[in-house]
């Protein structure tokens, strides 16, 4: 197949320049769209994981407090004075 008429009519070096400019524009648009797509996916995943993550954090904190209280009670230390 022969090159399109418009491509044959371009001055020497112009085709390379045009390809370079088009690739720059594609790169900018692609970068922006990929960032948006990735941000959307990350937000969706975060929303779906958040309830489970909260449950796990709550459980870890609860068990840590229970263990600390149990250790304190087991140590037989007198209660701290109020005041």
Asked if residue 52 belongs to a domain, the reply is: yes
Asked if residue 4 belongs to a domain, the reply is: no
Determine the pLDDT at residue 82: 73
Asked if residue 10 belongs to a domain, the reply is: no
Give, in order, the Cα–Cα distances in Å from 13 to each of 17, 48, 80.
6, 52, 86
DSSP character for 1?
-
Asked if residue 69 belongs to a domain, the reply is: yes
Asked if residue 9 belongs to a domain, the reply is: no
**What gap in Å lies between CA 64 and CA 56, rounded to an integer?**
12
Asked if residue 6 belongs to a domain, the reply is: no
Asked if residue 11 belongs to a domain, the reply is: no
Asked if residue 30 belongs to a domain, the reply is: yes
Helix (H, G, I), strand (E, B) or coil at 30: helix
| Number of separate domains in the chain | 1
Residue 4 pLDDT greater than 70, yes or no: no
pLDDT tens across 5-60, in order?
555 677 888 888 999 999 999 999 999 999 999 999 999 999 999 999 999 999 99
pLDDT tens across 58-82, in order?
999 999 999 999 999 998 867 667 7
pTM of the model as a whole: 0.49
Determine the pLDDT at residue 30: 96
Q: What residues make up the domain containing 69?
A: 18-73
């Amino acid at each position: 197949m022969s090159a399109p008429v418009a491509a044959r009519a371009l001055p020497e070096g112009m085709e390379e320049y045009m390809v370079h400019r088009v690739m720059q524009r594609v790169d900018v648009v692609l970068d922006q769209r990929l960032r948006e797509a990735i941000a959307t996916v990350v937000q969706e995943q975060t929303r779906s994981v958040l309830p489970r993550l909260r449950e796990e954090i709550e459980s870890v904190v609860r068990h840590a407090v229970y263990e600390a209280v149990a250790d304190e009670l087991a140590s037989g230390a007198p209660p701290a004075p109020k005041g």
